[in-house]
Structure 1
């Protein structure tokens, strides 16, 4: 038997509960993992609350990330005792996930836990931090340069934003952090933000096709009107890495920033990211994410806490990274 958060649907409504399941309930897969830690991302909040039809089949165990140790394997690359981490591949959506003490998945979806990284810190990173690193890498591929000016991070106090601020600061960039929560200002400056931007300042487009060039680049987790506001403010040749939709998935803008300033809009997908780039991103996280800053982002939780936290993250009430000890 193993503990798990189980989602069940009745009359179109999804309910979550903490329960115990027998091992024979685990889905198909060639690697069984004893999960030590999981985490909570915005997408997990959607799944826990039955939003967005991300899950099509119930009952279901959520959790798009987990880290632990291989318990049993028929995959050639993994054996019992190997430390591993998983993010993406629609685990926790189409396939049972990591909000449990055990998970069974395809070995091709796993990444060996990088040397120098604990399972707990891997889940402090999770999909949010992994996505932040992919965004930084994409911006670097398009000319990001510490000498070219500030980099804006929207939704900066959230999971993606927090890790992005810390990484960019470590790499020598001036970071402008946008948030609508004044109580997080000290937290963000502690991560390395050099400028704090009130969320309302970039919440609505000006109506002009081009505005004053303010940022060399942006990592945007908000989308919607915020992204439409930021695009005309990106400097010539700059880029925006779009990583989220907390503010909506509709983008109403003009093509002029792209045509007259050569601005790049870069879509960041962490779910189906190929294995070689995954390994590169995890190696970069070990190198470029200050572990003391990461530790300062951690909010520890147990499985039962997810029943409440799943709603709070959707309301923007979760700061930093939630790390779930599955055995607590």
Structure 2
């Protein structure tokens, strides 16, 4: 094929942005060692921002978003990949300033590509996607720094979002007592169903007392929201508690003190899934294909096609998405 379908975002004269499904030429894709026929992608918040013209995500338009892609190698000038290999790509510059997974073909550098591990189907890899990889990076960092189920409760903020959902499911699979935090009343039953032992509201971890420390409740945390919720959790960590942070939905600010760190020995780690080491990625994808893989992935998944994307983009921007949306190309 010389042409393919793609979700395309263009900037209009009035500085607004339009979304459409168009035919693109493979020859117009950027340079790269590996051409991949995309079978599945997934919808992430960053994709939604790119789709409405957010310059912090995508600098120039027209553009095809999609920071995740899974498919089959069509052509490769890299000896690491052969035609027919099943592969996946998440992060790096895919879907940001490089034509992304909302098109039926992508062309990318070989160093971005991971062979699909045994035990993981292409669609399952996109149920995980960047969200699942980010959750896995957080959890792996916590485990590396001593977190065990016997240590106590692990709290997950933004628990009905992509990263939060994945974190709840993986931690539950690994035997942890998971406390999910959500501002969605309808999210309670969802979180209990996917493995949370407790569900609390946002208001319960939004302390405004200015006290430097609170009762130590949690042994670990995966935080996707930042702001005062993260500050409250830091004050609520047990001695030697560990916290992995990967988001700022609530706020990029952190109104806290050094007391949790120097009086309780709390450790906090920042997680970036876009540029993380490729060998670490490969290790975690193997974990997600085996002992970290939840049994009920499909129950949290909605599968759509390109023609349904605009509707789902509006939904995720309004904070109404629960679980994962997979795009079938």
Give TM-score scaled by structure 1 length.
0.96
| 1:311 pairs with 2:329 | no
Pairing partner for 1:282 from 277, 282, 285 = 285
**RMSD of aligned Cα (Å):** 1.3
Q: Identify the range of structure 1 (97-106 vs 2-11) with the bigger mean alpha-carbon deviation.
A: 2-11
Cross-structure match for 1:116: 119
CA distance in 2, matches of 1:302, 1:128: 19
CA distance in 2, matches of 1:52, 1:204: 34
CA distance in 2, matches of 1:205, 1:143: 30
Q: Identify the range of structure 1 (279-288 vs 134-143) with the bigger mean alpha-carbon deviation.
A: 279-288
Cross-structure match for 1:142: 145
Q: CA deviation at 1:264?
A: 1.1
Pairing partner for 2:193 from 190, 193, 217 = 190
Q: Identify the range of structure 1 (4-13 vs 259-268) with the bigger mean alpha-carbon deviation.
A: 4-13
Q: Identify the range of structure 1 (182-191 vs 72-81) with the bigger mean alpha-carbon deviation.
A: 182-191
Cross-structure match for 2:210: 207
Pairing partner for 2:10 from 1, 8, 11 = 8
C-alpha change, 1:291 and 1:175, in structure 2 (3 Å) is: closer
| 1:244 pairs with 2:247 | yes
CA distance in 1, matches of 2:20, 2:316: 18
Contact 1:30 1:75 in 2 (8 A): yes
Paired positions, count: 326
User: Secondary structure, in 3 states, of the residue corresponding to 1:137?
Assistant: helix
| 1:101 pairs with 2:115 | no
Q: Identify the range of structure 1 (167-176 vs 289-298) with the bigger mean alpha-carbon deviation.
A: 289-298
Q: CA deviation at 1:201?
A: 1.1
User: Secondary structure, in 3 states, of the residue corresponding to 2:70?
Assistant: strand
CA distance in 1, matches of 2:91, 2:292: 20
Deviations 1:142-183 (A, max 9, x none): 110111110001111111111111111111110001111121
Contact 1:155 1:178 in 2 (8 A): yes
Q: Identify the range of structure 1 (178-187 vs 101-110) with the bigger mean alpha-carbon deviation.
A: 178-187
| 1:133 pairs with 2:125 | no
Deviations 1:2-41 (A, max 9, x none): 1111111234433222111111211111111000000011
User: Secondary structure, in 3 states, of the residue corresponding to 2:268?
Assistant: strand
CA distance in 2, matches of 1:205, 1:64: 37
Q: Identify the range of structure 1 (186-195 vs 109-118) with the bigger mean alpha-carbon deviation.
A: 186-195
CA distance in 2, matches of 1:198, 1:127: 25
Deviations 1:93-133 (A, max 9, x none): 12111111111101110000011111100000000001001
C-alpha change, 1:51 and 1:252, in structure 2 (3 Å) is: farther
Cross-structure match for 1:85: 88
Q: Which runs of 5+ in 2 are unaligned?
A: none
| 1:158 pairs with 2:161 | yes
Contact 1:6 1:17 in 2 (8 A): yes
Q: Which runs of 5+ in 1 are unaligned?
A: none
Deviations 1:166-205 (A, max 9, x none): 1111111100011111212222111111011112211344
User: Secondary structure, in 3 states, of the residue corresponding to 1:144?
Assistant: coil
Q: Identify the range of structure 1 (115-124 vs 204-213) with the bigger mean alpha-carbon deviation.
A: 204-213
CA distance in 2, matches of 1:217, 1:25: 47
C-alpha change, 1:106 and 1:175, in structure 2 (3 Å) is: same
Contact 1:163 1:289 in 2 (8 A): no
Q: CA deviation at 1:61?
A: 0.9
Cross-structure match for 2:231: 228
CA distance in 1, matches of 2:208, 2:221: 16
Pairing partner for 2:65 from 45, 55, 62 = 62
